[in-house]
């Protein structure tokens, strides 16, 4: 988890503005973000990081709040332009300062006809930043209680995410193929009943980014290819605010951070995986 992601999660859970000193203390208490040198996060770092993400955080002196609290529409401020393309082709998004363009971006990313089977996209995913969305083809293919929970949500959207540098590396490599530390991949693996090797994170700097054994990773990838649909938007600018807004509005089943309807069942499975990966050998 990055520092600004940790700040965002703390503010969402607290539900009120906090000072940089309060946020730094909470980040350190949770161990939500670890510096390379092992030293604690300082209020000055909180100040600097929130300053770098003005579309996520608003500040008044040393007090930090979420832009979303002021006006939910205001933090979707990008305009999507769609070049001539066949359905399912790539989309490019350029930013302007107009909240009215939110519906356009949302419709492009979540357009049902644009989603394609996860097993067929490898040559097409660009090496560009952007937003992505993941759906389940048949809700009944999810294990319980997640199949029933998906039915209750009334939609088949599983996850909305952001690739800050490369959709090919983040969406394809990490989230769908299990190469690296994909948040979605770890979640869907846990939902499907897979667990990391006991003690696999013992003694490592990051104690939360568990992974699955190679044979289990292959099985998860196979399941993903059989059951999931994906779409993405190439984006030339920073879209954390748009990602957060889409999560808040649509409440995808497997998003935890920033999700008003985050599933305790999923959080418990991920916590179990973390515990196993950090247990004694």
Angle at 234 between CA 246 and CA 230, to 5 degrees: 65
What tens digit of pLDDT does each residue of 230-255 get?
Answer: 999 987 666 777 888 889 889 999 99
SS (H, E, C) 38-60: CCCCCHHHHHHHHHCCCCCEEEE
3-state secondary structure of 158: strand
Is 109 in contact with 93 (CB distance < 8 Å)? no
The neighbour count for residue 280, using CB atoms within 10 Å, is 6
| Whole-structure pTM value | 0.67
pLDDT of residue 265: 95
Q: What is the mean pLDDT of each run of 10 residues along the chain (281 residues)?
A: 87 83 92 88 94 88 80 33 36 39 74 94 93 96 95 94 93 95 94 95 84 96 98 79 87 93 94 92 67
Burial class (CB in 10 A: 0-12, 13-18, 19+), 13: exposed
């Amino acid at each position: 988890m990055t520092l600004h992601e940790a700040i965002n999660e703390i503010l969402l859970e607290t539900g009120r503005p906090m000072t940089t000193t309060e946020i730094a203390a909470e980040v350190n208490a949770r161990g939500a973000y670890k510096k390379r040198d092992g030293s604690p996060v300082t209020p000055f770092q909180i100040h600097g990081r929130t300053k770098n993400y003005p579309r996520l955080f608003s500040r008044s002196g040393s007090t930090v709040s979420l832009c979303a609290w002021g006006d939910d529409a205001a933090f979707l401020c990008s305009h999507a332009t769609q070049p001539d393309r066949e359905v399912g082709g790539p989309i490019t998004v350029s930013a302007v300062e107009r909240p009215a363009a939110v519906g356009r971006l949302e419709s492009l990313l979540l357009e049902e006809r644009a989603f394609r089977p996860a097993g067929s996209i490898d040559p097409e995913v660009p090496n560009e930043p952007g937003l992505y969305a993941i759906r389940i083809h048949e809700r009944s293919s999810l294990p319980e209680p997640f199949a029933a929970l998906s039915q209750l949500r009334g939609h088949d959207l599983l996850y909305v995410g952001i690739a800050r540098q490369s959709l090919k590396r983040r969406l394809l490599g990490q989230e769908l193929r299990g190469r690296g530390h994909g948040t979605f991949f770890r979640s869907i693996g846990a939902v499907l009943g897979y667990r990391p090797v006991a003690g696999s994170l013992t003694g490592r700097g990051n104690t939360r980014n568990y992974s699955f054994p190679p044979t289990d990773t292959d099985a998860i990838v196979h399941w993903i290819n059989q059951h999931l649909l994906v779409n993405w938007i190439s984006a030339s600018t920073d879209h954390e605010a748009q990602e957060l807004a889409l999560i808040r509005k649509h409440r995808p089943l497997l998003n935890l951070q920033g999700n008003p309807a985050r599933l305790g069942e999923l959080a418990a499975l991920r916590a179990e995986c973390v515990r196993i990966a950090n247990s004694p050998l």
